[in-house]
Amino acid sequence: MSSEDVEIKDAINGRPLLPKGKDSNEVLSQGSDSSGRDSPVVNVDDQRETWGRKADFMLSCVGYAVGLGNIWRFPYLCYANGGGAFLIPYLIMLVICGMPMFYMELAAGQYFSLGPIGVWGSICPLFKGIGMASIVVSFLVCIYYNVIIAWCLYFLAISFRSEVLWKHCNNWWNTDNCYEGRLPDAKNCASMINATINATVAGGNITNCTSINTKDLTSPSLEFWNHYVLEISDGIGNPGIVKWELFLCLVIAWIGIYFCMWKGVKSSGKVVYFTATFPYVVLFILFIRGVTFPGANIGIEYYLTPKWEKLKDPKVWVAAATQIFYSLGIGFGSLVAMGSYNKFHNNIFRDAVTISIINCATSVFAGFVVFSTLGFMSYTLNKPIEEVAGSGPGLVFVVYPQAIAQMPVSPVWAILFFIMILTLGLDSQFGMMEAVITGLVDEYKILNKRKELFVAATCLLCFLPGITHVTQGTLPRCCLHGEPTKEEPMS
């Protein structure tokens, strides 16, 4: 029987074709593992590790897909693009775009048992650049994503006190515009001549508000974020000094990432048992607490009330497709890398569908948690939902902390919330780091002999440019409080 006939027979039997120039003596034939299932084709000299258990893979993928975007991006997009009506284009894009792409990347990694560069190179040598590009993108994202994790660590550390620091306006970092309490009914305070407002500002009680415009007032949490945590300078051209507290948190974050990744999927696959499940525990607790708040129904109504006319707007459909790709993490090479550690005959189609549904269901559920709390803020501060709703880091580090400050035993809620955000960020970081490490180790086999050292070098290379993000001239202002606007374009 010729080699071509053998390859055809192998293909019919569901086995991957042998690499060119190699015979069956260089590659293990299909065998069986202890469970009786077929094991993947592996090289004798360089046997590829696999996930310890199926749950390791599933939780890693769920943790990677269910990230910060599910909390700080989807709820606002849903509210801003038609409320409940947005779920129609969202689910359609999930079925026709998200699931097929998600399945394709996982299946390609599982079939070839290679990282992004190897998979695309096996399909067509010219396509290796696609795999390299995905690794470069993941590497760049890892640089600033761990900065967000460092912010979470910092907020978590300072939450262990009797009262959260961002509750009042009587601190050294507050300005005269700092305002805590319930706003008056008038939109512009100038219409309330010689009125007394039951609230506190940095300078004390307001007794004559003819010169006060409520639109200029800022919350304690916003001033704490800008003037204490970040100490934002005039701009990126004036970097200022490195914030040593954030620098220390960044160091701790990268050390944690290293020790979770240094043994490959054998180590990261165990960490996700906590990091991928704990966010659901906290989300459920916050949901129960949120729906019991006064005004929670206001926020949920804003979140779900359908605006059917929005479905005629192409921008809504673009937003739905963008969120699907953003949330599922398609195109970063992470899914290819994680799928490559599966056994060859794993039912990856079922896994892809299950993970996609879990991811999208989590986004919808997170919307109830976020908007029940925003409704409470709207009621407490006497502001319309439009003025308290937000997205991006501003929701996590400004808006939600402001709501937490209004709760009884606020430090406890702050600790739970920031542990949840921390674990969500870690899982996504694991996936992107896996894309970089697996892609390069599979392409350059010599790196596998010193994998622990290579992982350390990769973490260091990501850490060094990340230091620029913990200076006073940190990220552009448009990136700190949510989506970029026409007035604040993304540069």
- Contact present, 219 and 180 (Cβ < 8 Å): yes
Residue 213 near residue 190, CB atoms below 8 Å? yes
Query: Could you give the CA distance from residue 436 to residue 431 in angstroms, rounded to a whole number?
Result: 9
- Known binder of ligand: residue 327? yes
Q: Residue 87 annotated as binding?
A: no
Residue 417 CB neighbour total at 10 angstroms: 24
Q: Does residue 68 have a known ligand-binding role?
A: no
- Strand-pair partners of 242: 471
Length of the chain, please?
491
Q: Which residues have a Cβ under 8 Å from the Cβ of 249 and sit 6 or more positions away?
A: 150, 151, 153, 154, 157
Name every residue whose Cβ is closer than 8 Å to that of residue 3 and which is 6 or more positions away in sequence. 23
Task: Provide φ and ψ at 181, rounded to 5°.
Answer: 115, -170
**Which residues share a beta bridge with 180?**
200
* Contact predicate 433/302, CB 8 Å: no
The answer to whether the beta carbons of residues 209 and 192 sit under 8 Å apart is yes
The one-letter amino acid code at 132 reads M
Integer distance in angstroms from the first to the last C-alpha of the chain?
61
Give CA–CA dist 68/57, Å, rounded: 20
* 156 belongs to an annotated ligand binding site: no
Confirm or deny that 282 is annotated as ligand binding. Answer: no
Residues pairing with 471 in the sheet: 242
179 - beta bridge partners?
201
Q: Which two tokens stand for residue 203?
A: 């300078």
Q: In 124-218, where does DSSP find H-type helix?
A: 128-158
66 is in an annotated binding site: yes
Q: What element of type H or E holds 200? A: strand 199-201
- Beta carbons of 333 and 130 less than 8 angstroms apart: no
Q: Is 31 annotated as a binding residue?
A: no
Structure token digits, residue 70: 């599910």
Residue 199 has φ and ψ, to the nearest 5°, of -160, 170
* Numbered residues of the known binding site for Na(+): 63, 65-66, 70, 327, 359, 424, 427-428
* Numbered residues of the known binding site: 63, 65-66, 70, 327, 359, 424, 427-428
